Structure 1
Amino acid sequence: MPDWNRRAVLATGAALSTPGILASIGSTVAEEDTASSGTSTGDPPGWSSVYGNAANSRYLPLDDGFPEPNTIAWRSDTLRGGSNDGDIAVVDGRIYLVGEFESTDYEQTELRVASADDGTLEWKTEVTGRQRPTVADGTVYVSGTDRVTAFDTADGSFQWEREFDPELWISNATAADGVIYVVADGSRFNADATLYALDGDDGSTRWKREQVEARQENRETADPAPVGFKTAPVAVVNGSVYAITGGGEFKGTGSKAGIQWDGGVTELDAKTGEKQWGIVLEDGAFEKLIATEAFVCVQNKVDGLEETVLDSETGETVQTSKSTRTATADVRVTHDTIRPGSGPITVSTYGSEESWTASDIYYFPPLIVGDTLIATRTSEVVGFDLESGTETWSWEVDGSPHALAGVDENTLYFRLYHNDAPDELIALRASGDQGEGREGDEQEDDQCEEQEDDGQDEQEDDQCEEQEDDVQDETEPDDETEDGSDESDSDC
């Protein structure tokens, strides 16, 4: 395991960092006061996007871990999210998701908003495009193929719409500190797009950036060159925007002579758009980017199995590794399995050699909530202690658990696939209510309570104590409970 010592990285890389060199190229800044550009950028509360937060790291901070779930609070086949794998935002007691639902038109979709308490639909509205919802400051933002549209979270009333070139692509929106960041006006995989910082209240442009100056990885003596942006979601952490760029005119040498370098990463000031650093990577940069206060991870290729890890302050390469699925500033969770397979995940502690692994984890990305890591296996959802790797709880399901769609302080939302029935969105909750609890728990508890009330004999009391201690994991094989069956993953 490589040493993630941040001081060593900063010491060797400080001389190579060039924040502010040629920072004005391609930048347009609004005529507003930008003197407070060092202000920390903050996340909206809750699971504010399908990537969990503005850093795209699938992490929800809590003081403790996610409590052991004991009930399926509700399940819905009308909130499954279509081909978006049930990805949702969960904020202030509401669930937000976009999908085609009953529509057969690829571009004509719906935004649906439901109660997180019981899954009932609160409101819905048609939207254009298939990007996922982002929620901040009482507003839900949806990116389409040519626009960003804002709706009031309470009733779905229209707030504003910002249109872009209808022939080109637009990224999923990232929200932080009253600003909405999108990359627009670019083709799907080419680096010819523009990064916009939009005012969250009305969609007006605070600043935009068409290009940045970047240098080649490990070529500190090479001259920087202009590069454009790829149409991929940006990540925002502590007053910085991290975005994926193209490779410019850089080409390899030696065994890679003449090969075009395909992409890199840049850090910009979130208030002004001023460049802090820009690096073009020899292994390329595709479209998945996760940022934390300590490091930035970028997917190198379309298969998503390899990535480059950069120091967030300097842009220097810390290591190349397997793909990071979820992260905090202290840990990275990596997994090198492609769908529809299973394999081990590794949880590495930043700044040390400490790590642990868990086997047979399904392809779909895990998530971190507080000090709990939640992942899926073939027919169960599993919770691990983030520090030790101890399996703290598991829950069997009556199908194949696919995407872990989102989480709040006591409920996990995941998509469940059935071979012979519609997919569902499941709300698995830690609650005093029994709901669709585990097999026999409720009946045995009631019997024990009756025996205690009636003062039945010591033998019966002992039987009840044994029943309470030995909690059953299987469930009733009826329509309202989980049957623990091992369904295949044929829809991947």
Structure 2
Amino acid sequence: MWKRRSVLATGAALSIGTGLASVGAGAAEADVDELPDPDRDPGPNEDWPSHRGDPGHARYVADGHEFDGGALEAAWSVDGAGADSVAVADETVYASTDGGVVALDAADGTVVWENADVDASDPSVAGETVFFTGNEIVALDRSDGSVRWESEFDPEAEIVWQTVAYGGVYVVVGGTLYALEADDGSVRWKKESITAAPYGNEEDEYEFVAATAAANGVIYSVTGAGPIALEPETGTEVWQEGTYVSSSDYTNAIYATSAAVGYDISGSPEVPLHDAQTGESVDIGYGQIAFGEEIHVGGGDNGYGGSSIRGDEYSWGLDVMYTYGQAVISGETVFVYFTRDGGPPDPEWRDYDEELVALNKYDGSEKWALSTDDAPVGSIRAVSGETIYVDHDGELVALREETDTDDQSDESDENDDTDGGNDEGDGSDEGDDQQDGEDDGDAGEDDSDDEDECPCPDDDPADDDGSSGDGESVDDGDVGNGTTGDGDVGNETNAGNETNAGNETDTENDTDADNVPGFTTGGGLLGGALGLEWLRRKAGVDESTGVNEPSE
């Protein structure tokens, strides 16, 4: 079984501290005429340094790992840390829990620090600081979780989320856009409103009605007059698109990549998409949208699909009415956890329910699907490196592949009698994920899908798509896209995992400070044993662990 931790069992929480420290140099002021500039990266150089991916919040990883669903298994989990978004940077996971905020070692889930005095979520990392949004913006020292600074906004004003980029922290509070200095929280600049004349009407004052996103050297938001791009050092307007909206129309969510800017409309499945460079309208997305450089995906009650941001080169749809998904576009793949919400009972035409699915982003064809019957899958919280972080019944679960190298080492250890060193280490080899026969029934299944089903363009496909939507449901919206992507769900069971007998009684590895089986003293993970325990528990083979089981 995968490792489960209680973050409140690690000792006394850190008390709020004081003091300031720099989180890195701020961005130099740019010539507004040269913005937006796709080469001006908001940083940091990580897959998922903020609560929705990068500071653009588009849930998009340009050059992500291509996962083999048949080899995915739970590496570790943490109780109470899966309900909200997370950030991952420098092999550390930052999350909120029922009892505060926490930093976890990405390798094995051990608690680096926790602070029970901070009630906040939506973490973002910059330099040596991690920022959370609650009733205030809170900046914590990444080394120990102590408070560096905290904002002092009107306690009655709503704060949606912060964006950390270009040496600043950008947040809309009560209709006013603030730019705070990341190192000490002082106000760099603020805008209470803008003057605009949407659709040629008379000029008027319009407040900010959406959160912020950062990309292309600018800060994006939405006012009552439409989307806007601002220079981050001074707040100077770069462009403003005249699209009249009511202040009640928006759910305060905005997303940006080098290609497009999208924002949610309250009570509607539509997500207007605008050109990130000019602000002009380019397309309409739907539901829990995800997009990158070429393609956007999303859906509502009437379907789920993908389309080109510009033109009609790509268009596909799935039969998943009344089924909703929170996607991440990583590399050439859309990763999405589909779950049902309403509609007729168990219709035959519904493709997925409670399954983590990998789709070809160009045509929607299935690469693999992993059911909750086979692994602790759930809504995706992050994709970073070779790990998918999901929420499974309130637990933050790290899903990883078991590698072929581990299998080969295991076979060598058990079958080669002349290899005395390896045989001797069978019971105490701290680095190996030993699981015989793992690939016997799975080899080649997913690789063929990746290579044969991808109608990739001739140019570099890594610059394509992003992703969105933290909610679990959206309103009606007909994606209206064409063909259904049929795929082979060949990876939902991995019978080969049943053959690892050598490491299940290895007590020498149970020396972690939290006394967790399956981990070495150096933090190495015996992923094979964890996956085996998951399968056995689902089959009712071993009920002797004494650890609470996840709800079915």
Matches within 5 A, 1:406-445: 406-417=382-393, 423-432=394-403
Q: Secondary structure at the match of 1:140?
A: strand
1:75 is aligned to 2:76: yes
Tell me which amino acid in the other structure corresponds to 1:133. P
Matches within 5 A, 1:86-165: 86-101=84-99, 110-145=100-135, 147-165=136-154
In the alignment, the residues of structure 2 paired with residue 433 and residue 122 of structure 1 have an alpha-carbon distance, to the nearest angstrom, of: 30
In the alignment, the residues of structure 2 paired with residue 346 and residue 387 of structure 1 have an alpha-carbon distance, to the nearest angstrom, of: 8
Residue 336 of structure 2 is aligned with which of 360, 375, 391?
A: 375
Query: After the TM superposition, which of the residue ranges 355-364 and 375-384 deviates more from structure 2?
Result: 355-364
Residue 205 of structure 1 is aligned with which of 187, 198, 212?
A: 187
Deviations 1:262-290 (A, max 9, x none): xx322222222112214343584332212
- Tell me what 2:306 maps to: 346
In the alignment, the residues of structure 1 paired with residue 413 and residue 320 of structure 2 have an alpha-carbon distance, to the nearest angstrom, of: 38
1:229 is aligned to 2:208: yes
Normalising by structure 1, what TM-score? 0.70
List runs of 5+ in structure 1 lacking aligned partners: 1-31, 102-109, 187-192, 248-263, 418-422, 436-441, 454-462
Residue 535 of structure 2 is aligned with which of 481, 484, 491?
A: 481
Cα RMSD for the two superposed structures: 3.8
CA contact (8 A) 1:123 1:156 kept: yes
Tell me which amino acid in the other structure corresponds to 1:429. R
In the alignment, the residues of structure 2 paired with residue 298 and residue 86 of structure 1 have an alpha-carbon distance, to the nearest angstrom, of: 20
CA contact (8 A) 2:286 2:297 kept: no
CA contact (8 A) 2:270 2:286 kept: yes
In the alignment, the residues of structure 1 paired with residue 296 and residue 28 of structure 2 have an alpha-carbon distance, to the nearest angstrom, of: 37
1:277 is aligned to 2:266: no
Higher strand share: 1
Q: Secondary structure at the match of 1:156?
A: coil
CA contact (8 A) 2:368 2:491 kept: no
How far apart are residue 212 of structure 1 and its match? Answer: 0.8
CA contact (8 A) 2:84 2:121 kept: no
Tell me which amino acid in the other structure corresponds to 2:107. D
CA contact (8 A) 1:212 1:278 kept: no
In the alignment, the residues of structure 1 paired with residue 165 and residue 359 of structure 2 have an alpha-carbon distance, to the nearest angstrom, of: 29
Tell me which amino acid in the other structure corresponds to 2:231. D
In the alignment, the residues of structure 1 paired with residue 28 and residue 279 of structure 2 have an alpha-carbon distance, to the nearest angstrom, of: 28
CA contact (8 A) 1:228 1:246 kept: yes
1:356 is aligned to 2:316: yes
How far apart are residue 177 of structure 1 and its match? Answer: 2.1
CA contact (8 A) 1:245 1:266 kept: yes
Q: Secondary structure at the match of 1:481?
A: helix
How far apart are residue 213 of structure 1 and its match? Answer: 1.8
CA contact (8 A) 2:224 2:244 kept: no
How far apart are residue 373 of structure 1 and its match? Answer: 1.3
Residue 371 of structure 2 is aligned with which of 386, 396, 404?
A: 396
Change (3 A) 1:446 1:176: same
User: How many pairs align?
Assistant: 393
1:266 is aligned to 2:241: no
In the alignment, the residues of structure 1 paired with residue 257 and residue 70 of structure 2 have an alpha-carbon distance, to the nearest angstrom, of: 29
1:329 is aligned to 2:293: yes
CA contact (8 A) 1:41 1:270 kept: no
- Tell me what 1:169 maps to: 158
Tell me which amino acid in the other structure corresponds to 2:270. E
- Tell me what 1:8 maps to: none
How far apart are residue 367 of structure 1 and its match? Answer: 0.3
How far apart are residue 319 of structure 1 and its match? Answer: 3.5
In the alignment, the residues of structure 1 paired with residue 72 and residue 440 of structure 2 have an alpha-carbon distance, to the nearest angstrom, of: 21
- Tell me what 1:51 maps to: 52
CA contact (8 A) 1:137 1:178 kept: no
In the alignment, the residues of structure 1 paired with residue 28 and residue 75 of structure 2 have an alpha-carbon distance, to the nearest angstrom, of: 48
1:386 is aligned to 2:364: no
Tell me which amino acid in the other structure corresponds to 2:364. G
In the alignment, the residues of structure 1 paired with residue 114 and residue 220 of structure 2 have an alpha-carbon distance, to the nearest angstrom, of: 32
- Tell me what 1:365 maps to: 326
How far apart are residue 413 of structure 1 and its match? Answer: 0.5
CA contact (8 A) 1:44 1:177 kept: no
Deviations 1:453-487 (A, max 9, x none): 9xxxxxxxxx99975759874267986337779xx
Deviations 1:286-337 (A, max 9, x none): 32212222222121224x5122222233333334442352110211112124
Tell me which amino acid in the other structure corresponds to 2:179. A
In the alignment, the residues of structure 2 paired with residue 308 and residue 235 of structure 1 have an alpha-carbon distance, to the nearest angstrom, of: 15
Q: Percent identity?
A: 29
In the alignment, the residues of structure 1 paired with residue 127 and residue 533 of structure 2 have an alpha-carbon distance, to the nearest angstrom, of: 39
Q: Secondary structure at the match of 2:325?
A: coil
CA contact (8 A) 1:326 1:332 kept: yes
List runs of 5+ in structure 2 lacking aligned partners: 1-26, 339-352, 419-436, 446-489, 499-530, 540-550
Change (3 A) 1:242 1:465: closer
CA contact (8 A) 2:140 2:149 kept: yes
In the alignment, the residues of structure 2 paired with residue 42 and residue 33 of structure 1 have an alpha-carbon distance, to the nearest angstrom, of: 12
Change (3 A) 1:91 1:317: same
CA contact (8 A) 2:442 2:491 kept: no
